[in-house]
Amino acid sequence: MSVRTPPRLLELAGRSLLRDQALTMSTLEELPTELFPPLFMEAFSRRHCEALKLMVQAWPFHHLPLRPLIKMGCLETFQAVLYGLDALLTQGVSPLFSHRRWKLQVLDLQDVSENFWMVWSESMACGCFPNAMRNRKPVQDCPSMREQQPLTVFIDLWLQTRTLDEYLTCLLLWVKQRKDLLHLCCKKLRILGMPLHNIRNILKMVNLDCIQEVEVNCSWILPILTQFTPYLGQMRNLQRLDLSHVDVSHYVSTKQKEFVTQFSSQFLKLHYLQELYMNSVSFLEGHLDQLLSCLKTPLKILAITNCVLLESDLRHLSQCPSVSQLKTLDLRGVRLANVSLVPLQVLLEKVAGTLEYLDLDDCGIVDSQVSTILPALSRCFELTTFSFCGNPISMATLENLLCHTIRLNNLCLELYPAPRDSYDADGTLCRSRFAQLGAELMGRVRDLRHPKRILFCTDYCPDCGNRTFYGLNIDQRCC
């Protein structure tokens, strides 16, 4: 039988305080600052709505990070917080404590750790200010805040259903009715499936200059993409763009070219773009030069995955000034079997001084192509992760590849395919042969250098669709 931990004196005092509404009103003015977080958390979890309204008005901190508490309460408690904020928006001071200005400036609905409030409450009760609050970004981090607005609401928008959840619906209605009195700041926008007219209505309430990260992963047809594209150019502080599963291959080439021109032109306005992810995007084939020519700032991350590229696209990529300082290059699933890898060699030479992560999984690279990129690869001294899974190469080529990474002292993780010599004629991995080849290979590697972590992977399993990874010997296996 387990013994329950008795409630602390602080918790009992908080519960007693919340039970007496009149006492709450009369004592909040004199309540020690360190008691506000645990008392607020108690009021939210026990749904004391009237107490919440008063505590919001007396909140002694700059930030109110509400997101972690929403799961503890209900829509009514969320609304109580919003009602409590109305006094600030309409009067600028708390009606209960009119002799002092309200300290609260930010309602923070961004994602933070779920135990944030517990850590904060315990730290404040012990008389120390936790790092979690000390490291919160200041209001000035928002590039579009206007000084005359007393309140900023920070939120990450995930638009993934046809109808909004009740909390977001409630918030947006509240913001819409007070749009001239507060600033709604969204830094992360994720669109996973929603009618464009709904998205437009939401974006009208958000200053697009605030958005720093955008992910679009929905099967929009070309006309809808064309309508959404102009919004990108208004996100002038955008740092990360992630676009997935865009298939316009069934449209005539002239329509595709028009869209690529319009889409690429928005990049001319994005002076802070550092990360570009394009996954399963069909319009890049033969048009990559249009996109790259509009990039005006150096990228840190470029991920073009599961796309079809022509050799001319690779050549333009290797010549693009904006990729000369890449830290991450991800070309997973870009089929390179029948193209020259000279452009890739040129690109690796260009980024050798900065590249830390290189992923060439499932590119179909064969033995005769590998030697082209080896000299450039061996000079990528900053490389920490190299993944080459799914490329059908022999034992001899794999050994040569490992020998060329001998001087890459920063390599912490290397992922390679099991050599084709390990497979039977029907494509099944022969474990005994793989164990023998693996032992020989690792013996050779250890003679040359001391690897930190090397894993070898099989082809995708036709039953489960996964790969199996093996360590330095056949018994070290992980999924």
> What letter represents residue 321's amino acid?
P
Using 50, 70 and 90 to split pLDDT, how confident is the model at 248?
confident
Give the pLDDT score at 240: 97
Question: Going by C-beta distance under 8 Å and a sequence separation of 6 or more, which residues neighbour residue 86?
Answer: 178
Number of domains in the chain: 2
In a domain, 182, yes or no: no
In a domain, 199, yes or no: no
In a domain, 438, yes or no: yes
In a domain, 415, yes or no: yes
Signed CA dihedral, 227, 230, 234, 240: sign only: positive
DSSP classification of residue 29: G
Please enumerate, as own/partner, the contacts of 8-17 that have beta carbons within 8 Å and a separation of 24 or more: 10/35, 10/38, 10/125, 11/38, 11/42, 14/38, 14/39, 14/42, 15/42, 15/46
Signed CA dihedral, 390, 393, 399, 402: sign only: negative
In a domain, 272, yes or no: no
Question: Is 289 within 8 Å of 316 (Cβ atoms)?
Answer: yes
Using 50, 70 and 90 to split pLDDT, how confident is the model at 67?
confident
pTM of the model: 0.86
In a domain, 385, yes or no: yes
Question: Going by C-beta distance under 8 Å and a sequence separation of 6 or more, which residues neighbour residue 171?
Answer: 78, 82, 109, 153, 155
In a domain, 158, yes or no: no
- The H or E element containing residue 357 is strand 357-359
Task: Look up the domain containing 372 and give its range.
Answer: 326-479
d(CA 326, CA 351): 6
> Can you give the CATH number for the domain in which 363 is found?
3.80.10
Residue 398 structure tokens:
């794999």
382-440 residue pLDDT tens:
999 999 999 999 999 998 998 888 889 899 999 999 898 888 888 788 888 888 887 78
Question: Is 52 within 8 Å of 84 (Cβ atoms)?
Answer: yes
- The distance of Cα 32 from the centroid of its chain, to the nearest Å, equals 38
Task: State the average pLDDT over residues 63-68.
Answer: 85
338-391 residue pLDDT tens:
899 999 999 999 999 999 999 999 999 999 999 999 999 999 999 999 999 999
- The distance of Cα 59 from the centroid of its chain, to the nearest Å, equals 31
What are the start-end ranges of the H helices in 155-208?
166-177, 196-203
> What letter represents residue 365's amino acid?
I
In a domain, 58, yes or no: yes
Work out the widest C-alpha separation in the chain, in whole angstroms: 85
Signed CA dihedral, 227, 229, 235, 236: sign only: negative
Radius of gyration of the chain (CA): 28
85-110 residue pLDDT tens:
987 777 654 444 444 556 788 898 98
DSSP classification of residue 160: -
Q: Which is more confident, 261 or 442?
A: 261
At how many degrees (to 10) do helices 9-19 and 36-45 cross? 60
Give the pLDDT score at 196: 86
Task: State the average pLDDT over residues 308-317.
Answer: 95
Q: Residue 338: helix, strand or coil by DSSP? A: coil
- The H or E element containing residue 188 is strand 182-191
- The distance of Cα 47 from the centroid of its chain, to the nearest Å, equals 33
Give the pLDDT score at 479: 47
Pairing verdict, β 454-457 and 469-470: antiparallel
Question: Is 233 within 8 Å of 264 (Cβ atoms)?
Answer: no
Residue 37 structure tokens:
């977080």
Q: Which is more confident, 282 or 386?
A: 386
DSSP classification of residue 459: P
Question: Is 322 within 8 Å of 300 (Cβ atoms)?
Answer: no
